[in-house]
Amino acid sequence: MATQTDVERRRPPTADPGPPRRTWTRDAVETRVFGVLRWLVIAFLLVISIFPFYYSVLLSLRPLDQVVQDPGALWVGPSEIILDSYRSVLASAAEGGQGFIQFMRNSAVVAFGTVALTLLVAIPGAYAVSRLQFFGRRQVSGLFLAVYLFPSILLAVPLFVFFTRIGLRGSLVGLLIVYVSQIVAVSIYMLRNYFDTIPVSLEEAAAIDGASRLGIMRRISLPLALPAIMANALFVFMIAWNEFLFALLFLIDARDRWTVSLGLSQLAGSIEVPATVLMAGSVIVTVPIIVIFFASERLLTEGLTAGAEKG
């Protein structure tokens, strides 16, 4: 009679199952594929965004003869870097340069003045459209956007004639007024959309505590709308800094009041200006926008309304 031990000895050994097999589900495949594609898309966007600026900086730092001999070089040694192009761009016309320091000063006055006046008008206007009830409130928002849809070229000739007759053509004040009138409508439309997202209950609670409408706006609405205000200010600054059409019409006869867009167009339209000097001017025009953007990045991306209202 076979014992239990004999039966176990006659039974064939079972195979080692090994580690468990990994099953590829649809969700796992999509997560892995899109995870790889995300970084590829980010890298592609970075290349097409940064490479033109990098190449412009590279050309502006190289001697003209080396650029002619090898224009496709993507890297140069420290010994080949020179700053002659930037000296030529920044030097005044009396010193044989292009006078970009004066142009940048003029553009800064116009751009920052446009931002200040536009926000001074747009913030209370957007708040009124968002919070106050009046006849035609919905139609007003559409009219603000419709004003911005008119091409600038349609207004160029009437504005040119009008400012010539009142004696403001050729002055930075006239250009500032034109910029504000062109931009304030779309600024009101953009800020109104953000004021709509601020909870009304916060303002109602402040009103119950005795705050006035102006106090509510200053202490509640404006701090919460600060990211939108900064984004709008950056948008207005870029428009005023880079605008060319009205600057050409109003300031073409007064070189000492030119903006950077006019100065850069002069470099691009002259066959006597080397390409390295043109690239240096382009870099100088672009750098202030980049600096201001990164300086205000925290306010642009930070959600100040997070946790403002607890249910």
Of 110, 88, 96, 85, the residue nearest 258 (C-alpha): 110
Amino acid symbol at 79: S
Residues 166 and 245 in one domain: yes
* Position 253 confidence tier, pLDDT thresholds 50, 70, 90: confident
Q: What is the C-alpha to C-alpha distance for residues 87 and 37, in angstroms, rounded to an integer? A: 44
Is residue 121 in some structural domain?
yes
Is residue 1 in some structural domain?
no
Residues 70 and 116 in one domain: no
Of 139, 248, 251, 231, the residue nearest 187 (C-alpha): 231
Residues 54 and 182 in one domain: no
Q: What is the pTM of this model?
A: 0.78
Is residue 18 in some structural domain?
no
Residues 206 and 75 in one domain: no
Is residue 88 in some structural domain?
no
Residues 33 and 144 in one domain: no
Is residue 12 in some structural domain?
no
Residues 67 and 188 in one domain: no
Residues 67 and 156 in one domain: no
Is residue 90 in some structural domain?
no
Choose the most confident range, by mean pLDDT, from 107-111, 190-194, 256-260: 107-111
The predicted structure's pLDDT at residue 303:
41
For residue 257 the two structure tokens come to 């009041």
Residue 177, pLDDT above cutoff 60 = yes
The predicted structure's pLDDT at residue 306:
39
Phi-psi region at 99: left, alpha or beta (left = phi > 0; alpha = psi -120 to 50): left
* Position 74 confidence tier, pLDDT thresholds 50, 70, 90: confident
Residues 53 and 187 in one domain: no
H or E segment to which residue 208 belongs: helix 200-208
Which positions ≥6 away from 122 have C-beta within 8 Å?
184, 187, 188, 191, 232
Residue 128: which CATH number? Answer: 1.10.3720.10
Of 35, 58, 82, which one is at a domain's C-terminal end?
A: 82
Is residue 285 in some structural domain?
yes
For residue 185 the two structure tokens come to 């409508």
Is residue 212 in some structural domain?
yes
Task: State which residues form the domain around 59.
Answer: 27-82
Residues 123 and 212 in one domain: yes
For residue 267 the two structure tokens come to 């470099």
* Position 146 confidence tier, pLDDT thresholds 50, 70, 90: confident
For residue 297 the two structure tokens come to 């990045």
Residues 154 and 194 in one domain: yes
How many domains does the chain divide into? Answer: 2
Residues 285 and 136 in one domain: yes
Residue 305, pLDDT above cutoff 60 = no
Residues 40 and 122 in one domain: no
